[in-house]
Amino acid sequence: MTKLIDPFARPISYLRVSVTDRCDFRCTYCMAEHMQFLPKKDLLTLEELDRLCSTFIRLGVEKLRITGGEPLVRRDIMTFFKTIARHLDTGALKELTLTTNGSQLARFAAELAAIGIRRVNVSLDTLDAAKFQAITRWGRLPQVLEGIEAAQKSGLRVKINTVALKGFNEEELFPLLDWCASEGHDLTFIEVMPMGEMGEEMRLDQYWPLKDLRARLAERFTLTDLAERSGGPARYVRIEETGQKVGFITPLTHNFCESCNRVRVTCTGELFMCLGQEDNADLRAPLRASSEDDLLEQAIRAAISRKPKGHDFDYSRQSVKGQMSRHMSHTGG
């Protein structure tokens, strides 16, 4: 079967799927405090998610990341993980993983490890309990730290994802680094992205370019650029003094589109060929139109043929260009 290749000869081997727009946090850069969540009928069922992911895997996807919202708050989500893990057993899928806020890891870590998940990404922007509650609005830091500990004990490798927020966690750069080193976690910093109707002023106030963060690291440590990729957009360095690996996801100060091998599907079945473009394809309709996968496969191939060369994210001096109207929780983190 012909694999998925986009118009710029990039093979599509990485799929990120949101299984819910709901979350037990309300992070200020991700969603509004009083979110209007989608009606249940609009969401793909767990069976539809399995069919969709399995079709992508048949078309060459080798890495599948489950996102949200918070994926572990979706009812019966472990049923989905257990069934989709059959593709790990056949070797068709090389990696099954998830991005989580960590709140439910204490409950599910052992099960996740048992079905073949080897690593998880945990979003964590501060180690200060009061600030954590402020940025997540509803979150409790001890619950997340307990979840991370449970993941480690279950044999899951944990990577910490930290959104760089000007005026919020700048002074925590080195404490976060030290904590990750002591716990054995990799750490990736992410530039805040212009997603959702959060207001231009807020985005500009939050924006901390990672070139500045990296320069601050370089004042204290020796940084060596690494050629490795994890299948995602991060660029990595090794801190020679500690041996740590630190990643930088920089959609704004460094465009990483030239090697883009991934697409995203929302919890309602919208396929976004690019995080920073509004163009999308409806996969829910072909999923529900037939119990066979022919229509679904045709819709996927047609969409991939429209995958753009790059995104439009850009922060100019006092405006946010390329701002996406949808919230990050809708598209999938």
- Asked whether residue 99 is marked as a ligand-binding residue, the answer is yes
Q: Is 247 annotated as a binding residue?
A: no
CB 67 within 8 A of CB 332: yes
Annotated binding residue 29? yes
Residue 321, annotated as binding a ligand: no
Q: How many CA atoms lie within 13 A of 100 on its CB side?
A: 26
* 116: three-class secondary structure by DSSP: coil
Consult the annotation and say whether 264 binds a ligand: yes
Whether 257 has a binding-site annotation, put simply, is yes
Angle at 332 between CA 208 and CA 33, to 5 degrees: 70
At residue 191, φ and ψ (nearest 5 deg) are -70, 140
Distance CA 325, CA 195 (A): 6
Token digits of residue 15: 């799929």
Q: Is 30 annotated as a binding residue?
A: yes
Question: 316: annotated binding-site residue?
Answer: no
73 is in an annotated binding site: no
SS3 for 16-54 is EEECCCCCCCCCCCCCCCCCCCCCHHHCCCHHHHHHHHH
The answer to whether 159 is annotated as binding is: yes
Strand-by-strand arrangement of the 95-100 sheet:
223-226, 235-239, 245-249, 186-191, 157-164, 119-123, 95-100, 63-67, 14-18, 262-265, 270-272, 280-282
Residues contacting 303, CB < 8 A, separation 6+: 263, 271, 273, 280, 281, 283
- Which amino acid type is present at position 54? S
Would you say 242 is a known binding-site residue?
A: no
Computed over its alpha carbons, how large is the radius of gyration of the chain? 19
Q: Cα(61)–Cα(297) distance, rounded to whole angstroms?
A: 13
Nearest alpha-carbon partner for 125 in 189, 217, 209: 189
Q: Is 263 annotated as a binding residue?
A: yes
To the question of whether residue 118 is assigned a binding role by annotation, the answer is: no
Residue 262, annotated as binding a ligand: yes
Question: CB–CB of 171/132 below 8 Å?
Answer: no
Instruction: Check the annotation: does 260 bind a ligand.
Output: yes
* DSSP H or E stretch at residue 79: helix 77-84
- Cβ atoms within 10 Å of 225's Cβ, excluding its own: 8
Annotated binding site for GTP: 16, 65, 99, 159, 262-264
In the annotated binding site for [4Fe-4S] cluster, the residues are 23, 27, 30, 257, 260, 274
Question: Which residue ranges are tagged as binding site?
Answer: 16, 23, 27, 29-30, 65, 69, 99, 123, 159, 193, 257, 260, 262-264, 274
Residues in binding site for S-adenosyl-L-methionine: 29, 69, 123, 193
